[in-house]
């Protein structure tokens, strides 16, 4: 008959996963007083992300391209919501 060990099994210490730099710096949504201010914010955000996309290479920077595309899509979605909100409030 084998005797079981009374000590807890050793856990391998794992380093926390490193987040890529392009994911660490995300712009938070604007908290503006007016719809026009928020529209301007998202338009500038889309424009800056589009300019960043022009500098990237598909073979070398695929994750960055994916992230920027998702952010552009999110910005366009917010612009659509804001335009609907603007038309209903007028």
Contacts of 66 (CB under 8 A, 6+ apart): none
d(CA 13, CA 64): 29
pLDDT at 34: 83
Task: Profile the chain (90 residues) by mean pLDDT over runs of 10 residues.
Answer: 56 57 54 80 94 92 94 95 82
d(CA 41, CA 47): 10
Domain total in the chain: 1
Length of the chain, in residues: 90
pLDDT at 7: 57
Domain that holds residue 70: 58-90
74: in domain:
yes
77: in domain:
yes
72: in domain:
yes
pLDDT at 36: 87
2: in domain:
no
Measured from the Cβ of residue 24, the count of other Cβ atoms closer than 10 Å reads: 8
């Amino acid at each position: 008959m084998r005797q079981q060990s009374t000590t807890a099994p050793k856990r391998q210490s794992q380093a926390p996963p490193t987040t890529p730099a392009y994911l660490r710096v995300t712009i938070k949504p604007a908290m503006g007083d007016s719809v026009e201010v928020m529209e301007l914010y998202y338009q500038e955000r889309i424009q800056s992300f589009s300019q960043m996309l022009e500098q990237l290479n598909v073979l070398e920077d695929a994750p960055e391209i994916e992230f920027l595309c998702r952010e552009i899509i999110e910005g366009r979605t917010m612009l659509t919501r804001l335009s609907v909100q603007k038309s209903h409030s007028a």
